[in-house]
Amino acid sequence: MFATPNALRTLLAAGLLSVATFGPALAADDELTMFKDPNCGCCGKWAEHMRANGFRVKEVATREMDAVKHEAGVPQALASCHTAKVGGYIVEGHVPAADVKRMLAQKPAITGLSAPGMPLGSPGMEGPYAAERYDVVSFDSAGKRAVFARH
């Protein structure tokens, strides 16, 4: 059975309306703002990893990283070199893009994720040395922490 030209126009209009209505909401989760010290090289490498995995990354260089982390609610024990905001969450340090995507898909009741310190072999910290095993930790505003992923 073939659709009439009017039916095709109606379907096309409905499709464009749904893209206009829902497209921006879906795309907002891939917009990531990363705050980093202007002299940090590994932060830029992490941003490249995120871009390679479909995120749009805005890099903001600042010498006020302690203030950024404090305002974002990052526990001192979970601190790393850069702090990012994406989809209403905080991402601290060298968290793999797959973990960020999982968080954004599952939408857990947390403040964010952290890869504490600067684990060797994590995204942005690759090199000729052996990769470390490390945990990505979720955290919330009440201080609750849990292992989100192991690498």
Domain count, the chain: 1
Asked if pLDDT for residue 71 goes beyond 90, the answer is yes
C-alpha 122, offset from chain centre: 14
Cα torsion angle, 47, 48, 51, 57, sign: positive
pLDDT at 13 (0 to 100): 42
Q: Is residue 3 part of a domain?
A: no
Tell me the C-alpha distance between 61 and 44, whole Å: 10
Q: What is the mean pLDDT of residues 116-138?
A: 94
* pTM for the model: 0.80
Residue 92 has pLDDT above 90, yes or no: yes
Q: With respect to residue 40, please indicate whether it lies within any of the assigned structural domains.
A: yes
CATH of the domain at 100: 3.40.30.10
pLDDT range class, residue 30, cuts 50, 70, 90? confident
Q: Which domain holds residue 68?
A: 26-150
State the CB neighbour count (10 A cutoff) for residue 82: 25
10 domain residue, yes or no: no
Give tens-digit pLDDT for 35-52: 999 998 889 999 999 999
Report the DSSP beta bridge partners of residue 86: 32, 89
